[in-house]
Amino acid sequence: MKARIFAKAALCVSLLAVSVGSALAADNVKIGMIQPLSGPNSVFGVNCQRGMQLAVDMINEAGGIKSLGGAKLELVPADIPTPNTAAQATQRLISREKVSGIVGHFVSSSTLAASEVTERMKVPLVTFAFADQITERGYKYSFQVTPKGTVFGADQFNYIYDMMKDHGKAPKKIAILYEDTAYGTTQAKGLRAAAQAKGVEIVVDEAYPLGITDANPLINKIRATSPDIVFPVSYFNDALLLIRGMRQQGINIPAVGGAAGYVINDFRKGLGEYCEGILSVASSNQDLAPKDFVDRFEKQYGVMPTHDAISHAVAVDVMAKAIEKAGSADPKKIRDALAETNTCDGIASAIPGKCVVFDKNGLNTKTFPILVQWRGERLVTVYPKDVATSEPVLPQ
Amino acid sequence: MKFKGVTLNARTAVYLCLAVAFLIPLGMDPDGYLLRIVSMVVLFAAMAQAWNIVGGLANQLSLGHAAFFGLGAYTSTLLFIRQGISPWAGMLAGGVVAAVAMLLLSIPLFRLRGHYFALATLAFAEVLKIIAIHFADLTEGPTGITIPYGEPSFANFQFESNTSYYVVIVALFAVVSLIFWKLSTGAMGFRLRAIRENEQAAEVSGIDTYRIKLGTSMVSAFTMGMCGTVYAQFTYFFDPESIFSMTGISVRVALICIIGGMGRLWGPLIGACILIPLDEIAVNTMSDVAGLGPFVTSVILIAAIIYEPRGLISAWERLRRRAQKKHAAQSGQAAGAV
């Protein structure tokens, strides 16, 4: 009997302790994470999640949000495999989980769908997606840390054009192959315009559906027209098919990929030796990011952090700094602080250009795309010259 | 059932409960997640009901209803953005465009039956998706269309509160269900049932099967087009990939109807009440393991189909019949005792 009373008392005391304890600690600040965690794009989503989680961990270990009494950040994930589910998932994060802000999504169309909800419910969204429209609609709650898709396309062309010109052999004819998704078409648009501005002939300009299983018709076109450079813009599987197909058939025309599928670890794993020397544009790279972040990422996950993980970590850091500045978990106040973002340190400095400053539409004005190249197991930055860590290896 | 002197018919009681159930969401948090899910359930029930008109009544299994759904969404949205025409008028225009598309499609397609008809409709939706992607001047291409975020007003079909959208969606469901009910009862219902059971026999007994099938198909396409407009206004954004989606729209509405009960008035609502929350729970709780969510959902759906091939509505009816039998037996005993 005595034992039972004792047990009851102990239970009461411990319950009390738990409730007092949780009341004393500062409330966590929740950040919603929208990513494709299942379905065909999950290979990217999981990568992005790693970068974001690491950024959150590092911010928390450095003392959390100091203006909120050291409150910890908490990442609340929501899986958005297709744009159809974006609105519901975003609404759940906002009204159920009461997140202070949302970071993501990797895919443009899902980001656009989610931004319709964040704008109406007045919760800030910091995204990595490339689509031009994200910051062209005059929305107040959408922020884009990376350049726009057409800018990526234009620089995908201009960078390699300038590089080859420096080597005394400017390309005369090129091929553009792109997925008929929002990302593919936007970027191809920028590419096409840049090539036309330089008077370069476009001998292949082909859109193809996402998820093709046979790249041979495309490769045959390239063989028939023998362009100086091939510009493929695609997600993962078709990137593998295209490059593997070309190299296996002995077509060694240099390829300059359009980020996405060309700059992730699985690309190298899938291609093996064919991967060596492939160029691509990217929004950021491991050799430009803070060393502590890169080292820790590699230690924790066993792979090199790629640009999607890094740029999403930047987005988280930008959000955290806005929360710090706002001194509040109120989404509206965080949005106002985000609009005045001017940061050049911490994880945010991983972005090329080192700084994040948003214009009135929410687009980061300080950053620019970079050109990266596969060397063994790593991606190195080869262009523009002022940030390059290595000389490009160009085919002879 | 006798209740304080008022005789309450069992059927009336069910309808009363249903009416109350439809009223409950009006009290939910307008910015809430729950209201959004409930709205999606009713919207998908309306879409499945539109499918039910052709799939359940005329027995033409369509796996391409996303085509009409997308045509409705594109028509009203483009009219609104380019010409400033109210989406309410656009909704009717979208319905007409969808119905005309069905008319054109039916001329070659009605020669096909069963699986072949299903495959042809499936291809039609895929073709429209490709057109929407590649004719960017007309459709804005693969980036999709954003409904401009303007001042909420009734004329613009934009509301401040999600509760208003819910009311519109329930009204839509009511309209489509009413059409379904009108078609399934009376002389038309008999003709359709005759066609469903044996088309040749129906033809011989003087039913113009071609015209009746064509008419119901067009009505189905028209209502599906209207659903497309409402969906576009409710989600504010759509792209060819999601609006003409085979798995997301075409197969889903058919599945909702099959799970709930094909050709039955309440089948789509029952199906939607099960499928939409199931998908939502799966995506919210099982995303850690790749593919687990869809796997679990599929297993549950397969089990449901095996358990009740004619739809879950028949399970409900079996229960009711059993209860009635028991009731009758009891009252019989009681009468015997007296």
Judged by CB atoms closer than 8 Å, whether chains meet at A116 and B294 is answered as no
Nearest Cα residue to A323 out of A31, A112, A114, A14: A31
A contact test, residue of B236, B250, B292 with most A CBs within 10 A = B236
What is the token pair recorded at A91?
């609404």
Chain B positions touching A109 (Cβ under 8 A) are: 142-144, 239, 241-242
Rounded CA Rg of chain B: 22
Domains present along chain A, CATH in parentheses: 29-147+288-365 (3.40.50.2300), 150-282+371-383 (3.40.50.2300)
Chain A positions touching B40 (Cβ under 8 A) are: 88
pLDDT tier, A16 (very low <50, low <70, confident <90, very high otherwise): very low
- Please count the residues of chain A: 396
Judged by CB atoms closer than 8 Å, whether chains meet at B33 and A108 is answered as no
By the 10 Å C-beta count (0-12 exposed, 13-18 middle, 19+ buried), A10 is classed as: exposed
- Measure the CA–CA gap between A290 and A296, rounded to whole angstroms: 10
pLDDT digits (tens, 9 = 90+) for A230-276: 999 988 888 888 888 998 888 888 889 888 888 888 888 888 888 88
Judged by CB atoms closer than 8 Å, whether chains meet at B239 and A92 is answered as no
**Ranges of H-type helices in B185-245:** 186-197, 199-204, 209-235, 240-243
Nearest CA to CA, how far is A88 from chain B (Å)?
Answer: 7
Nearest CA to CA, how far is B298 from chain A (Å)?
Answer: 15
Helices (H) and strands (E) in chain B, counts: 15, 4
Residues A102, A119: contact at Cβ < 8 Å? no
Q: What residue ranges do the domains of chain B occupy?
A: 28-148+157-254
Asked if the ipTM is above 0.85, the reply is no
Quick one: pLDDT at residue B79? 95
Judged by CB atoms closer than 8 Å, whether chains meet at A88 and B36 is answered as yes
Residues B75, B90: contact at Cβ < 8 Å? yes
pLDDT digits (tens, 9 = 90+) for A179-238: 888 888 889 999 999 999 999 999 999 988 877 888 888 999 999 999 999 999 988 888
Chain A positions touching B33 (Cβ under 8 A) are: 88, 91-92, 95-96
Chain mean pLDDT for chain B: 88
Least confident of A18-22, A380-384, B20-24: A18-22
Give the CA dihedral A228, A278, A219, B141, nearest 10 degrees.
Answer: -90
